[in-house]
Amino acid sequence: MMSPMANKIYGGLAHLFGGLLVVQFFLAGLGAFTTVHNKKFSDSNFDAHAGLGTLLVVLALIILLVALVTRRQRAIQLSGALFGLMIVQFILGTVGADTAAWVGGLHAVNALLILAVTGLTIRDARGMQLAPVRT
């Protein structure tokens, strides 16, 4: 049996995640262009981006836990994928900043996957079904 309250919480958290994701993209750009304008790299240029990223990992876990309460298979699948991508994102960001720049490049690509899955999660939360693919 699905919980209507859990469905509302799932939807609210999915929308919150999407909004914060836009802020996260802004903070990444701000950190990059602050570095360019200062002509000097500083870890502090990306502190806000890193802090919000950590919060987004926690929020993705909470979304997954709420999805488990809804007992809706699609919600569980999407939120599980979102949480998994966020774990990968955290690892790519850490390794990219500390060890290998090319891993940092993958951090940006993974962010696009997170954006796509977030869109699907919001769409699912609104009760919209994806149209079947015609071949």
- The domain of 13 spans 4-125
Of 35-44, 66-75, 111-120, where does mean pLDDT reach its minimum?
35-44
User: Which residues have a Cβ under 8 Å from the Cβ of 135 and sit 6 or more positions away?
Assistant: none
Any domain includes 16: yes
Any domain includes 109: yes
More confident residue, 46 or 14: 14
Any domain includes 132: no
pLDDT above 90 for 1: no
pLDDT of residue 46: 86
Any domain includes 33: yes
Any domain includes 130: no
Mean pLDDT, to the nearest integer, of 112-118?
98
Global confidence as pTM:
0.87
User: Which residues have a Cβ under 8 Å from the Cβ of 69 and sit 6 or more positions away?
Assistant: 3, 6
Q: How many domains are there within the chain?
A: 1
User: Which residues have a Cβ under 8 Å from the Cβ of 102 and sit 6 or more positions away?
Assistant: 96
